[in-house]
Amino acid sequence: MFKLYEFSTSGNCYKLRLAMSFLEINFSRIEIDITKGESRTKDFLKINPNGRVPVLKTPEKSYLPESNAALWYLTSDSDLMPEDKFEQAKVLQWMFFEQYSHEPFIATSRYWIHILNKEDQYKSELLEKSPKGYAALDVMEQHLEDNDFFVGNKFSAADIALYAYTHVANEGGFDLSKYTAINKWLSRIENVRNYITISE
Amino acid sequence: MFKLYEFSTSGNCYKLRLAMSFLEINFSRIEIDITKGESRTKDFLKINPNGRVPVLKTPEKSYLPESNAALWYLTSDSDLMPEDKFEQAKVLQWMFFEQYSHEPFIATSRYWIHILNKEDQYKSELLEKSPKGYAALDVMEQHLEDNDFFVGNKFSAADIALYAYTHVANEGGFDLSKYTAINKWLSRIENVRNYITISE
């Protein structure tokens, strides 16, 4: 059975729970409280020397850090991955967009505001993150104005990667109300069979 | 033929030239000067709405942004990608590590110091980036103390992704002299057949 080392309120960890729910894969969960330094202990660094969650432990007992690498591993032979090689690369394109242009601004802002409850302490950092997070949302909105999903007009792992932090962007101080296409896309995902919320 | 839209001194763009050289793939090059805003023009945003280079144009005339997605596309059916699915996911793990934990610190510092020549202006930002860049180098060093390459003890796309900015980390103010294992690994890559430098 798969085992997920996770900080359960993290969107990066939620990606893997969501994918395994869609794919009806059984897994166990181990909570690693990153606010208490539990991802930086000597024992955890043996599992992931980079000191981050999630880490997916496979049934063969191998460890796989990096949310989108684990998401690719879980989905690569499933309906959540296109068959065409160029479309597979497009899935990866959006996953790299998510980790480089979206997560460092939206997820980090949410971490300071919603998880640590330290909005005042991080005021200047939040101001710097804000336009970059909105820039990522603008890129998504533009794409979704012409497409129901991110790749091949079909629900895929790319949507899961981007859904994780976009649907809780408000918890990072981002106002999603003007993003009509994003809101429709969020609903579309929430209606897929076996969808679970981030708190499940 | 492939066409590469690139800012040629960028390590992200070099990844793709290096991979195509190793794989003996012919391609043409179009220089996009990001210091002059050429990746944010109306025409370029049609190619990549996220306004970044590289973008790889395939012989079928499709555009693929995100260096590591394009690197995956070029290498996925080649000797530069392991055959085993879990090892393929490990290649992606290191690519995501590169984009999240390495590039934003080492490449960005190099951009301010080496490309823009504005070390004084970015002094406080550079101080903040420095420990995070060294943390990434520490993770690499630890891995390379026990392994010749990043995945499966064989040269792969993961090594190309990490080589691009590591071998010029000194241009970002990072002292590589104490990283014995990294230095040996850099030499190992530079001895692979069809290796080209970043200025070729």
pLDDT at res. B184: 98
Q: Does A65 touch chain B (CB under 8 A)?
A: yes
**Phi, psi (5° rounding) for residue B67?**
-50, -45
Rounded distance between C-alpha atoms, residue A94 and residue A146, angstroms: 16
pLDDT at res. B40: 97
The reply to whether B199 falls in a domain is: no
Q: Does A124 touch chain B (CB under 8 A)?
A: no
Strand duo B27-31 + B2-6: pairing = parallel
For A62-82, the pLDDT digits (tens) are 999 999 999 999 999 999 999
Report residue A88's pLDDT band, with 50, 70 and 90 as the boundaries. very high
Output the average pLDDT for chain A: 98
The single-letter code of the amino acid at B160 is I
The single-letter code of the amino acid at B26 is N
CA distance B130 to chain A (A): 16
The reply to whether A199 falls in a domain is: no
Q: Does B47 touch chain A (CB under 8 A)?
A: no
Say whether A89 and B69 touch across the interface (CB within 8 A): yes
Rounded distance between C-alpha atoms, residue B105 and residue B169, angstroms: 10
Report residue B200's pLDDT band, with 50, 70 and 90 as the boundaries. very high
Cβ–Cβ < 8 Å for B118, B38: no
Domain boundary among B50, B75, B100: B75
Average pLDDT over residues A149-169: 98
Q: Does A17 touch chain B (CB under 8 A)?
A: no
Q: Does A53 share its domain with A96?
A: no
Report residue A175's pLDDT band, with 50, 70 and 90 as the boundaries. very high
Say whether A92 and B139 touch across the interface (CB within 8 A): no
- Supply the CATH number for residue B152's domain: 1.20.1050.10
Residue among B175, B183, B51, B179 nearest B106 (CA): B175
pLDDT at res. B23: 98
For B4-29, the pLDDT digits (tens) are 999 999 999 999 999 999 999 999 99
pLDDT at res. A152: 95
Average pLDDT over residues B33-50: 97
Say whether B72 and A60 touch across the interface (CB within 8 A): no
Query: B178 CB contacts (<8 Å, ≥6 apart)?
Result: none
The reply to whether B59 falls in a domain is: yes
Q: Does B64 touch chain A (CB under 8 A)?
A: yes
Q: Does A122 share its domain with A181?
A: yes
Domain boundary among A75, A96, A125: A75
Taking CA–CA distances from B105, the nearest residue in chain A reads: A100
Q: Does B100 touch chain A (CB under 8 A)?
A: yes
pLDDT at res. B83: 97
Q: Does B106 share its domain with B70?
A: no
Output the average pLDDT for chain B: 98
Report residue A132's pLDDT band, with 50, 70 and 90 as the boundaries. very high
Domain boundary among B55, B75, B95: B75
Report residue A141's pLDDT band, with 50, 70 and 90 as the boundaries. very high
For A90-104, the pLDDT digits (tens) are 999 999 999 999 999
CA distance A101 to chain B (A): 8
Chain B residues with beta carbon closer than 8 angstroms to that of A101? 50, 52
Taking CA–CA distances from A51, the nearest residue in chain B reads: B139
pLDDT at res. A130: 98
Rounded distance between C-alpha atoms, residue A114 and residue A134, angstroms: 18
Say whether A49 and B95 touch across the interface (CB within 8 A): no
Q: Does B127 touch chain A (CB under 8 A)?
A: no
Q: At what angle do helices A85-97 and A157-166 cross, to 10 degrees?
A: 10
Q: Does A61 share its domain with A121?
A: no
Taking CA–CA distances from B59, the nearest residue in chain A reads: A86
Cβ–Cβ < 8 Å for A90, A151: yes
Report residue A174's pLDDT band, with 50, 70 and 90 as the boundaries. very high
Taking CA–CA distances from B77, the nearest residue in chain A reads: A85
Edge-to-edge strand list for the sheet holding B2-6: B27-31, B2-6, B55-57, B63-65
This prediction has a pTM of 0.98
Residue A117 lies in domain: 85-190
pLDDT at res. B93: 98
Q: Does B90 touch chain A (CB under 8 A)?
A: yes
Nearest to A93 among B60, B65, B90 (CB): B65
For A7-58, the pLDDT digits (tens) are 999 999 999 999 999 999 999 999 999 999 999 999 999 999 999 999 999 9
pLDDT at res. A25: 98
Q: Does B90 share its domain with B66?
A: no
The reply to whether B80 falls in a domain is: no
Q: Does B83 touch chain A (CB under 8 A)?
A: no
Report the number of distinct structural domains present in chain A.
2
Nearest to A96 among B89, B93, B99 (CB): B99
For B54-87, the pLDDT digits (tens) are 999 999 999 999 999 999 999 999 999 999 999 9
The reply to whether A196 falls in a domain is: no
